[in-house]
Amino acid sequence: MMKRTTGLVASFAVMAVLVLRPGIAMADVVPARKAKADRDAAKVEVRLAALGVDTATAKSSADNLTPSELQFFADDPSRLQNVGGLTWYELIGGAAVGIFVATGVMLMAMHAVQ
Amino acid sequence: MRPAVGALLSLPFLILIPGCASGPAEIEAISPGAPNWHLLRGRASLPEGRYRPTNCGPETLCAALVYLGIPATITDVESETYIPSIKGSVPPRIVSCARRKGAHARVSEGGNVWKLMQHIDEGSPVIIEVSRRGQYHYYLVVGVNPVERVIACAHYGNLQHQLPFDLLDEIWKAAHYRFIAFTVAKAEQLAQEGWDFLDAGKNEEAEKSFLNALKLQSDEGKALSGLGKIRLLQGKLEEAQGFLERALKSIPGDPEALNNLAETILQRKGDIARANTLTEECVAGQLRRIKEFDEELAAAPPGTQEAIKRDIEKARVNLFYYYGTRAQALEANGRLKESIEARLESLKYPHLEEDDPDAPARRHLEIGLTWKALGAPDKAAEYFRKALELTKDENFRKRIREATGK
């Protein structure tokens, strides 16, 4: 009899928890780790803006990266560079060609004066 | 001709010589069977884009994609990656363009010729980022000759650039030996990428990656598990269960899939005994995983320790939530005191402080409600009080007061 009463009380308690309990308990699905990813994205955007990229392009560039990629660049923003500027030998070569042309023009001008 | 004129004429050549001597050599295309060369099979040719000479980013990316058999035109790649206002491109645009086209692009630092050779032997084209005097430039590496100590870059016409190791070291060092290796994305990589997006709450991007992974491999466990979690978050419980059941066939014992399947079953008011078993396996599996990480950390060289520490931290945070589901399952099976123990165990682990600041308050409230149901009002009141102390959100405070009748 005692056991039966205890069982009934326990069952009632479970029912109370399951049925009457207010809807506070939330699903224990691991939430998204948004805050860190957002901070990393902001760092990437700031760096891109410093390189001269406009705000909208900087934002879309960061938005398309995965959080791991964002973290890689945010850990050291100097990993983000404007790639495609002329290489040093192109610069030197360009300067040399410029001087060559200028010299030619100067020589022609001198010749014309004589 | 007057001597001064001769001297002036020779000046540009004197300037040109050191300039060219310090750059890469231009050579005839290396033939496939050339001795001592590790070469990509076939040809990786640089297309000529609109923004030459500042579009090495789009050109090298386009050449890498085409080499991998991914259709890409230079016009298309330039429009996605070249930024006219800065006359160049930036690595994020290269990486995301590659992803959209179906390639996997991984940016790393600390490259060396042996890594380049390894990628080339695996058929994976590599872009290296080099720098000199503040200028940055990409080369697509297609060959390494360790005997002659030179690397070869992509073809343009019938020519290739060749860089001696010494010069390579000089110009690559300044960019911390950064490189981007390209492969055709594999199902596993796409699934990993999907989880990366999902972890940051980018569910749409995550779903795309998971679906792409499943197109390549219909039983890719991580992709199925990810889609299951997305459907669970969307409240599409039947679909969620379908994906998670399929996932566990490929990745049996995966704690995240076990937790989410148990949660789905509980929400569907399904087989609660099974939910209990699943959560038991989930918690045990996660504890085992943390132990393995700890052992790995103890034996890890200094350079890899940070990544392992991050994995451990992430696994510990997840355990906070897995214990929560364990408690729900125990509660659903009428094991109320054990559910309290599981929730207390959960509180020994860190929660997501920024993204879920009220998690400890919620846990205390759940414990209080369980004590209340067990007919222990004093203990219940103690946990309700703690819940009120811990909560950081005024709305949640109100909900606690309503729930506890205060």
Residues B192-235 have pLDDT tens digits of: 999 999 999 999 999 999 999 999 999 999 999 999 999 999 99
CB pairs under 8 A between A and B: 223
Find chain A residues with C-beta within 8 A of B356's C-beta.
31
For the segment B362-371, the average pLDDT, to the nearest whole number, is 96
Pairing of strands B179-184, B103-108: antiparallel
3-state secondary structure of B86: helix
Note the ipTM here: 0.84
- Tell me how far apart the alpha carbons of residues A86 and B135 are, in angstroms, rounded to a whole number: 7
3-state secondary structure of B143: strand
- pLDDT tier, B2 (very low <50, low <70, confident <90, very high otherwise): very low
pLDDT at B400: 86
* Residue numbers of A between 27 and 86 with CB closer than 8 Å to B: 27-37, 44, 48, 51-54, 57, 61-62, 64-69, 72-73, 79-86
pLDDT at A5: 57
Nearest to B163 by CA among B181, B148, B179, B176: B148
Residue in this structure with the two tokens 């499943």, named with its chain if needed = B214
pLDDT at B333: 96
- How close are the terminal C-alpha atoms of chain B, in Å? 106
The percent of chain A in helix, strand and coil, each rounded to the nearest 5, is: 75, 0, 25
Q: State both tokens at B132.
A: 């000199």
Residue B85 is given by DSSP the state G
pLDDT at A55: 95
Find chain A residues with C-beta within 8 A of B363's C-beta.
none
Residue A22 has pLDDT above 60, yes or no: no
Residue B97 has pLDDT above 50, yes or no: yes
For the segment B89-95, the average pLDDT, to the nearest whole number, is 96
Which CA distances in Å does B214 have to B100, B247, B292, B380? 16, 11, 29, 48
pLDDT at A89: 52
Query: Which among B23, B93, B322 has CB closest to A89?
Result: B23
Length of chain B: 406
Question: For residue A92, which amino acid is it?
Answer: I
- Tell me how far apart the alpha carbons of residues A106 and B249 are, in angstroms, rounded to a whole number: 80
Q: State both tokens at A109.
A: 């001008």
